[in-house]
Structure 1
Amino acid sequence: MTLRCAVLDDYQEVALSVADWSSVGSEVEVTAFRRHFATEDELVAAIEGCEIVVAMRERTPFTERVLDRLPRLRLLVTTGMRNASIDLGAAARRGITVCGTASGSEPAVELTWALILGLARRIGEESGALRAGGPWQSTLGTDLHGNRLGLLGLGKIGTRVARVGQAFGMEVTAWSQNLTAERADAVGVRLAGSKEELLETSDFVSVHLVLGDRTRGLLGADELKRMRPSAYLVNTSRAAIVDRTALADALRGGWIAGAGLDVFEHEPLPADDEFRSLPNLLATPHLGYVTERNYRGYFTQAVEDIAAFLAGRPVRTLG
């Protein structure tokens, strides 16, 4: 019997071309969906006949209720090796195997620096003025060399962001709840005495933390008011680490000079969302992992996960 496989949220329509699906082609019928299913009912209607689903990152939640409505589902593959939108316990209770795929941290590091540089040199504003026939040079850029980069989190991505900052001649400090002086010293970074100190003394603050109970809402109104009016905040990690309402107030009220965001609590961002129009916000549509090499890795390994599952020897299982 041929199994049905749904590939979700294939916005760029590349999932079936960046990997060789022929190894499972005789056993699996694959359908890729470009359109995001905004409601649970839409999702279930589209994939309820599928035994296999490939999900793109955390775009589509697979809660216990959703899994209950997918009785034929046997294999759920997620791009990446962590997905907070999948209820792993519920999947296990229903006999659903959940597998992941490896991903590189380099694309997220590069996107972080695209946002930092875009903010520092006002690239969006200046490029828009040039295209529109506006004034020739209307802003003053912010220097990186000699200024301070504050990192919330010094894991794999934060460490690489730190090294680029050092190459630019920036002073780099870092803080997280578990960060030690020994770990910071190993990267050549100064450990900030507290979160408050880091926010108060940094010219650029970049978030590189895992979302969890301790980090959800870590930056609220009180924290953002501690930042310098000339400072910039960048978040390429998880949207919920920064309180959305407080950030909007900070940008409108001039508490900070601007922000760069690649992550949002609701994606795709609604067409009338304020974050699409705030002039001091440089926003990108969650591009941190969207590169050709990363996608080839994602979908090549998704095919490997499916083939291994069909052979009765699942790989890269989660849970």
Structure 2
Amino acid sequence: MSLKISLIIYNEAKLNFDKKLTYDALSSISDVRSFEETGSDQVLERVGSSVVLVTKEMTLSAAVIEDLPASVRLICEAGTGYNNINVEAARKRGITVCNVPSYSTDAVAQLVITFILNLSCSLVPLQRKLAVGDAVGWRSLGSLPHFELAGKTLGLIGGRGTIGSRVADIALMLGMNILISSRSTAGDSKRQGVDIVDMETLLCQSDFVSIHCPLSSSTRHLIGARELKMMKPSAYLINTARGPIIDETALVEALEAGTIAGAGLDVQEVEPLPVDSPLIRMSNVILTPHVGWQRIESRQRLMDTVASNIKAFLDGSPVNVVN
């Protein structure tokens, strides 16, 4: 490829916040311009003659896409979820949209297991006691949960994807039983310790419920008050997928009422999480600010795959196309 195309990264601060990523793969095929942050009102004024737009969880509305110049041929979402892009508007404009699946499989799966391990031994509440100088309380578990994972049941909602499968692999090594809920019944699991069940069965029987489905109109508030009441009072809810899959108001009420034992949340319904959110003060909740994908290896793999997506598109054989 002799000529380089023009490319713009609109919100680099979300991807390369520590300045440790290399853009060698991108630079070999494109002239890269980047901006730390870009508001919705700055997209058009910054686009110039770019052929490729790279975004990370940044809204590209139908109105903005309709006004993009004719030079734009490809939008690359630097991530798996693409609900922030109006893909139908892009299709009407003849603009291809692609994403990057599976780049953070290990990182997110490891975070799910980290939540499970921490919740099973009350690690965070114990550290909170130390933080406020409660050394006496720290020496006694009192009523804090403290149990082994072998024999416990982990329910994976939408757990047939790459991340859910990796979580299942690790959990099986810990001696856990796995329930998987999926709308598809094709290829039912024959693995020992893994059963495919309906969601109601999963919710009723699981000691930990972990969400692994994409956000869509059919999964928004998939877990609400009704579903939370199906769970065991000793069970924990984990979400590393998308925040709005859980009705957060219903979750707060369930946590306060003891309907479930606790939660591990890497994603929230509104991000960044408002400072007055009740979740912040809850001792039975572990919160992380959507960091599951952010490990250095995952982010480098992400940018290298974005470059591979662009090269495949320019070669006439686009991959990871979502529209």
Give the CA deviation at 1:286. 1.1
Q: Matched residues in 2 for 1:15 and 1:100: separation?
A: 22
Counterpart in the other structure of 1:224 = 228
Please give the alpha-carbon distance, in whole angstroms, between the structure 1 residues aligned to 2:87 and 2:115: 33
The letter for the 1-side match of 2:110 is E
Root-mean-square deviation (CA), in Å? 2.8
Partner secondary structure for residue 149 of structure 1: strand
Q: Which runs of 5+ in 1 are unaligned?
A: none
| Count of residues in Structure 1 that have an aligned counterpart in Structure 2 | 308
- The 3-state SS of whatever aligns with 1:297 is helix
- Identity over the aligned pairs, expressed in percent? 34
Q: State yes or no: 1:123 paired with 2:98.
A: no
Q: What residue identity is the alignment partner of 2:180?
A: A
CA displacement 1:212-258 (0-9 Å, x = unmatched) = 34333222101101212211111112222221211111112211110
| Structure 1 residue 282: Cα displacement | 0.8
Cross-structure match for 1:137: 139
State the Cα distance separating 1:9 from its structure 2 match: 4.9
Aligned partner of residue 76 in structure 2, secondary structure: strand
Kindly state the Cα deviation for residue 69 of structure 1 after the two structures are TM-superposed: 4.2
TM-score (norm 2): 0.83
Residues 1:164 and 2:164 aligned together: no
Question: Match of 2:221, SS?
Answer: coil
The answer for the alignment partner of 2:153 in structure 1 is 148
Q: Following the alignment from structure 1 to structure 2, what is the Cα–Cα distance between the partners of residues 220 and 302?
A: 35
Counterpart residue number, 1:114: 114
- Secondary structure at 1:185 match in 2: coil
Distance in 1 (alpha carbons) for counterparts of 2:147 and 2:291: 24
Aligned residues of 1:53 and 1:75 also touching (Cα < 8 A): yes
Partner of 1:198: 202
Shift in CA distance, 97/148, structure 1 to aligned 2, threshold 3 Å: closer
Q: Does 1:178 align with 2:184?
A: yes
- Rounded Cα–Cα distance in structure 2 between residues aligned with 1:264 and 1:274: 12
Q: Deviations over 1:265-305 (max 9, x none)?
A: 32222333333333221111112211222211111232344
Q: Is the 8 A contact 1:174 1:191 kept in 2?
A: yes
- Specify the code of the residue in structure 2 equivalent to 1:250: A
In structure 2, the CA distance between the partners of 1:257 and 1:274, relative to structure 1 (3 Å rule), is same
What secondary structure does 2:34 align onto?
Answer: strand
Q: What are the ranges of 5 or more consecutive residues in structure 2 without an aligned counterpart?
A: none
* Aligned-pair CA distance for 1:14: 4.7
One-letter code aligned to 1:117: L
Contact 1:16 1:32 in 2 (8 A): no
Inter-CA distance 177–220: structure 2 relative to 1 (3 Å threshold): same
CA shift for structure 1 position 64: 0.6
Q: Is the 8 A contact 1:23 1:307 kept in 2?
A: no
Q: TM-score, normalised by structure 1?
A: 0.84
Aligned-residue offset at 1:48: 4.4
